[in-house]
Amino acid sequence: MSSSAEKSKYSFFESVSLYFDKAAKHTGLDQGLLDQIKSCNSVYKMQFPLQYEDRYEVIEAYRVQHSHHKLPCKGGIRYSSKVNQDEVMALAALMTYKCAIVDVPFGGGKGGVSISTKDHTKEQLERITRRYTVELIKKNFIGPGTDVPAPDYGTGAQEMSWIVDTYRTFYPNELNSHACVTGKPVVQGGIRGRTEATGLGVFYGTKEAVSYADDMEKLGLTTGLEGKTVVIQGLGNVGYWSAKFFHEAGAKIISIAEYNGSIYNPDGLDPDAVHEHRVSTGSIVDFPGSTTLEDRYEALEIECDILIPAALEQQIHMGNANNIKTKIICEAANGPITPEAEEILLSKGVMILPDMYLNAGGVTVSYFEWLKNLSHVRFGRIQKRFEENAYKGILNEVEKLTGRNIEADKKNLLGRGADEQDLVYSGLEETMVKAYQDIREVWRDDSNGIADLRTAAFYIAIMKVAKAYDQLGIFP
Q: Which spans of this chain sit near ligand NAD (rule: CB under 6 A)?
A: 76, 151-154, 198, 233-239, 257-259, 310-312, 332-334, 359, 362
| Shortest reach from residue 452's CB to ligand NAD, in Å | 20
- The catalytic position among 7, 70, 74, 110 is 110
| Shortest reach from residue 151's CB to ligand NAD, in Å | 5
Residue nearest to ligand NAD (CB): 236
φ/ψ of residue 60, rounded to 5: -105, 135
Question: Smaller CB distance to ligand NAD: residue 311 or 432?
Answer: 311
302's CB contacts (< 8 A; 6+ apart) are 231, 254, 255, 264, 325
| Shortest reach from residue 337's CB to ligand NAD, in Å | 12
| Shortest reach from residue 428's CB to ligand NAD, in Å | 12
Q: Are 246 and 230 in contact (CB under 8 A)?
A: yes
Query: Is 110 among the catalytic positions?
Result: yes
Query: What type of residue is 370?
Result: W
* Helix H or strand E encompassing 67: none
Query: What type of residue is 86?
Result: D
294's CB contacts (< 8 A; 6+ apart) are none
Question: Smaller CB distance to ligand NAD: residue 24 or 285?
Answer: 285
Q: Is the peptide bond before 172 cis (omega within 30 degrees of 0)?
A: no
Q: Collapsing DSSP states into helix, strand and coil, what is residue 326?
A: strand
CA dist 103 to 118, 363, 438, Å?
Answer: 36, 10, 11
Question: Smaller CB distance to ligand NAD: residue 151 or 189?
Answer: 151
Eight-state DSSP code of residue 123: H
Calpha distance 447→225 (Å, rounded):
31
- Give the other-Cβ count within 10 Å of 362's Cβ: 28
Question: Smaller CB distance to ligand NAD: residue 182 or 450?
Answer: 182
| Shortest reach from residue 459's CB to ligand NAD, in Å | 21
CA dist 301 to 235, 268, 319, Å?
Answer: 17, 17, 12
Q: Which residues are catalytic?
A: 110
